[in-house]
């Protein structure tokens, strides 16, 4: 039994790593705005929820998703802390402040039981304030040419593996509240800070993360759909529906951006 569980955990880690690495490669090649939209597709949270569904079923997924909606506030705190620190501190300092901001909010979320209505209000209020308050950092800056870091793939793989192990443990030992918040830890954002900031600067990296806030609105909507759908149907169609919402939102933002940039015919 223990050996089977070990192989299953290894398979979970491998699957999640493949998804995150592939999505991160696409983000690097797509440019600032497109990269921000790709970065906010649930490439790390999605596989984790698939594994939670396999291990615990739809009811657990529904309850964990409710707390993941609240966890989006911690992601916004990560982005805000990094943006404010990006012009004054080094990569290590920015990442430390952003991570502590995420951890502080994540711990505060565990102090009470949140209803679905409350987490939705928290999510909506947080992103309204964050998008408006941080918009001065959302400047599309052209990244200077720089060689690819040799350790980037290994770093992403390590972070995703650690998150899969942590959520796997939390789902069995700590319940849905901790699991739901932990599942939303910003793995891709952490990788982007570590890899991009030393090569492209704090302002460029901050702009990517702040632009990503609009994509994270769709992530929160997808989690709300997952909570409601998993309570009424099997986990598989609920997960597919949530993924469609997240991808559809980001595609709509991309279409809106391209329409705004399209040249208008002369009169």
116-125, 146-155, 180-189, 212-221: lowest mean pLDDT where?
146-155
Structure confidence by residue, pLDDT tens digits, 117-153: 999 999 999 999 999 988 888 775 555 555 555 555 5
Measured between alpha carbons, how far is 79 from 88 in angstroms, rounded to an integer?
A: 15
Measured between alpha carbons, how far is 226 from 65 in angstroms, rounded to an integer?
A: 6
Average per-residue pLDDT for the chain: 77
Measured between alpha carbons, how far is 85 from 93 in angstroms, rounded to an integer?
A: 8
46-55, 87-96, 173-182, 232-241: lowest mean pLDDT where?
173-182
**pLDDT for 87:** 83
Measured between alpha carbons, how far is 205 from 253 in angstroms, rounded to an integer?
A: 20
Confidence of residue 172 (pLDDT cuts 50, 70, 90): low
Other Cβ atoms closer than 10 A to 266: 4
- Classify residue 142 by burial, with Cβ atoms within 10 Å: 0-12, 13-18, 19+: exposed
Place of tokens 């998804």: 19
Confidence of residue 177 (pLDDT cuts 50, 70, 90): confident
| Beta carbons within 8 Å of 209's beta carbon, 6+ residues apart | 36, 79, 82, 83, 189, 192, 193
Confidence of residue 187 (pLDDT cuts 50, 70, 90): confident
pLDDT, greater one: 116 or 208 = 116
Please choose, from the candidates 227, 185, 232, the residue with its C-alpha nearest in 3D space to the C-alpha of residue 64.
Answer: 227
Question: Are 174 and 186 in contact, with CB atoms under 8 Å apart?
Answer: no
Find the length of the chain: 267
Question: Are 26 and 178 in contact, with CB atoms under 8 Å apart?
Answer: no
**pLDDT for 126:** 93
């Amino acid at each position: 039994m223990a050996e089977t569980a070990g192989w299953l955990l290894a398979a979970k880690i491998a699957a999640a790593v493949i998804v995150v690495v592939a999505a991160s490669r696409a983000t690097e090649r797509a440019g600032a705005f497109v990269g921000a939209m790709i970065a906010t597709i649930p490439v790390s949270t999605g596989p984790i929820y698939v594994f939670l569904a396999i291990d615990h079923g739809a009811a657990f997924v529904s309850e964990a998703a409710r707390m993941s909606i609240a966890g989006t506030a911690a992601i916004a705190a990560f982005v805000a802390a990094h943006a404010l620190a990006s012009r004054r501190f080094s990569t290590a300092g920015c990442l430390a402040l952003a991570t502590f901001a995420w951890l502080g909010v994540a711990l505060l979320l565990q102090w009470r039981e949140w209803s679905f209505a409350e987490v939705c209000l928290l999510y909506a209020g947080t992103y309204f304030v964050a998008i408006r308050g941080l918009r001065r950092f959302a400047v599309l800056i052209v990244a200077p040419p720089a060689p690819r870091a040799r350790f980037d793939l290994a770093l992403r793989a390590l972070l995703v593996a650690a998150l899969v192990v942590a959520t796997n443990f939390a789902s069995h030992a700590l319940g849905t509240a901790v699991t739901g918040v932990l599942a939303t830890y910003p793995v891709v954002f952490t990788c982007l800070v570590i890899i991009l900031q030393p090569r492209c600067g704090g302002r460029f990296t901050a702009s990517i993360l702040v632009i990503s806030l609009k994509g994270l609105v769709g992530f929160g909507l997808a989690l709300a759909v997952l909570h409601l759908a998993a309570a009424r149907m099997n986990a598989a169609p609920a997960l597919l529906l949530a993924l469609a919402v997240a991808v559809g939102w980001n595609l709509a933002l991309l279409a809106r951006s391209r329409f705004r940039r399209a040249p208008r015919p002369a009169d």
